[in-house]
Structure 1
């Protein structure tokens, strides 16, 4: 597969996901906050909702498109001895408090499936006393990395609960054959720096947005920016957003729906001033310019007008309620073709007011599952899908996807 993403909205050709497994059933109420969940979720229903979402993707993608389960990639890479050794070494190093060095030999002897089970679910069948917390956030594959152009920015999680996922993604990029083409173009974040994929939005191969959130540190943002500017990106717009749980990443309050259309949570995006800094190369250094707003910065950088559609519509209470249930976190399958949770009815009604046709997941799949989906240039569809269990994990359609291949908008 040609790994390349030059926009948020190009027709989707390849995406990495994780359909929730038993790890979500291991989250108990006492652990949920530490594991970054606001509620416990019912595994069976969450799996069904996720698989239904993937049916939408498959109906919308080209015939050669691929929906790839990340656990399958992990199983492949754990069959490679050097990859196993690298991962186990990093795991022991990054989690000294777990005393995993005591079972290092046993970890090396595990089958790929058993090692993966230990990493995701947190326990070994025959080593009582050695356990890790489960990794329920693997559901949100978006945060593990961001493909930008023909390169990849590997995330480093801000919270210990997700650091294991960062190590797993780093191992994939370093050793899995699928990532061979981007391996030498990888941007790596280390030490106490942090950056997560939910804060990285690719406007074009020349323009990228990075949110400075509670999960992306200033140093992580600058390290990521430095790498992007060295690899062909001309401008990074750093967007300072509230450092709070409800807006943990930029994509929880702002996403792209079409070439010049976005969904925005008004209080954190549309009502903010001078919270955007443009970063670009100036010789061997990076120069910065403060911009009046995100909208004006986007319009200046692209020479296009942008329409910001309000998450939740005009009503203030609805804006907050639907941002909380990921109304602003839509995922584009193609220009103007977006997917989001059906419960955000006011957001969908607002999209209809802006020219979008509304389809349920079942209508869309029935219409396009058995024929090529080739949306017209001016066609706009907002597809709703059920996610009553999934949204308890605090992440929407964009959070649950890591696109690795999209058609260029010029194709």
Structure 2
């Protein structure tokens, strides 16, 4: 598969996901805050909800499309001794306080499966007592990387709770054949800076948005922008967003739905001014110019009019409630065909007001599950899926997906 993503809404052809496993059951109430969870998740129901979401994806994707389980990819990469050594070396270096150098030989002696279990669950069977926290945030594969055009940004997590995931992703890109043709165009973030994929949104092969959030630092943003511009991007819009848990990434308050249409959380997007800086490639230089609004900047640099659709509708309370449950975090399967949590009813009603046909997951699968979906249909569809357990982890459909291939827009 040729990895390429030149828009947020092109027909989905390849995506990396992780259906929740034992790691979420290892989060207890005492650990949840440290592990960036607001609540504990019941693994059984979360798995079923996630698998149901993937059925919607399968119904919308072509026969050539692929859904990759990231644990399978990690396992395939770890069959290579060099990959295991690369991961172990980085793990020991990045977590000096854990004193993992003491068990370095033991780590090298682990089988690929056992090393992966240690990397994700934090435990080694019959070990000398060393353990790490689990990695329950692996559910949110979006944050591990971002394919932009034919290059890839390797995320570097802002917190120790997710840094191990970054090391796993770097190992995957370096050693798995799926990434063979793109790894030489990988953009790595140096030093103690951080960037996560939820802050990177691809408008076109020339225009990218990057949120400056509590998880993405200004220095990492500029490093990423510089790397993208070397690979063909002309403009990066840096969007300064509130540095708070409820808006941890740009995609928690802003996502693309269809051509010229976005779902937004008004208090953090529409009502903010002078919070956008356009980074523009000018020969060998990058010029920075402030813009008064995201909508105005998008229209200026993308050359089309944009409609912003309110998460939660027009009622203030509903906007806050549904942003909290990821109403603004939708995922496009195709231009104008999006999925999101069914509990965000006011957001779906507002989409209907903007010409979308509402379908629940079962209706969509019944209608299109036997190869009946055509990506060039003019009809706009908003698909709901059940996620009452998944949403406890504070991430929606976009958070749970890492697209690696989309068809270019016409």
What TM-score results when the alignment is normalised by the length of structure 1? 0.99
**Residues 23-34 of structure 1: pairs in structure 2 closer than 5 A:** 23-34=23-34
SS in 1 for 2:32: coil
State the partner residue of 1:14: 14
Deviation at 1:46, TM superposition (A): 0.2
Distance across 1 between alignment mates of 2:308 and 2:377: 19
Partner residue in 1 for 2:173: 173
Q: Could you list the runs of 4 or more consecutive aligned residues of structure 1 that deviate by over 4 angstroms after TM superposition?
A: none
CA distance in structure 1 between the partners assigned to 2:20 and 2:377 by the alignment: 35
More divergent stretch after superposition (305-314 vs 125-134): 125-134
Mapped partners of 1:97, 1:60: distance in 2: 46
1:63 and 1:372 in contact (8 A); partners too: no
- Answer yes or no: is the 8 Å Cα contact 2:209–2:239 preserved in 1: yes
Shift of 1:110: 0.9
Q: How does 1:85-164 map to 2 (within 5 A)?
A: 85-164=85-164
Q: Retained in 2: the 8 A contact 1:213–1:249?
A: yes
Structure 1 runs not aligned, ≥5 long: none
More deviation, 362-371/82-91: 362-371
1:325 deviates by 0.1
Contact 1:312/1:346 (8 A) holds in 2: yes
CA distance in 2, matches of 1:281, 1:317: 41
- Report the CA distance between 1:201 and its aligned residue: 0.1
1:324-361 CA-to-partner distances (Å, cap 9, x unmatched) read 00000000000000000000000000000000000000
TM-aligned CA deviation for residue 128 of structure 1: 4.1
1:221 and 2:221 matched? yes
Q: Secondary structure at the match of 1:68?
A: strand
- Cα distance in 1 for partners of 2:3, 2:284 equals 29
Alignment root-mean-square deviation, CA: 0.7
Query: For 1:236-255, what per-residue CA distance to the aligned partner results, in whole angstroms no more than 9, with x for missing partners?
Result: 00000000000000000000
Do the aligned residues in 1 keep the contact of 2:11 with 2:335 (CA within 8 Å)?
A: yes
Q: How far apart are 1:367 and its partner, in Å?
A: 1.2
Instruction: Check the 8 A contact 2:62/2:371 in 1, yes or no.
Output: no
CA distance in 2, matches of 1:23, 1:377: 40
Higher mean Cα deviation, 156-165 or 365-374? 365-374
Give the CA deviation at 1:191: 1.7
Counterpart-to-counterpart distance in 1, 2:307 and 2:241? 20
Q: CA-to-partner distance for each residue in 1:246-277, whole Å, 9 max, x for gaps?
A: 00000000000001000000000011111000
Partner of 1:233: 233
CA contact (8 A) 1:173 1:179 kept: yes
Partners of 2:325 and 2:77 lie apart in 1 by: 35
Q: Which whole-Å CA distance do the structure 1 matches of 2:141 and 2:364 have between them?
A: 24
TM-score normalised to the size of structure 2?
0.99
Distance 1:44 1:230 in 2: 45
**Alpha-carbon offset, residue 81 of structure 1:** 0.8
- In the alignment, the residues of structure 1 paired with residue 12 and residue 177 of structure 2 have an alpha-carbon distance, to the nearest angstrom, of 21
**Which residue number in structure 1 is paired with residue 357 of structure 2?**
357
Alpha-carbon distance in 2 for matches of 1:11, 1:200: 18
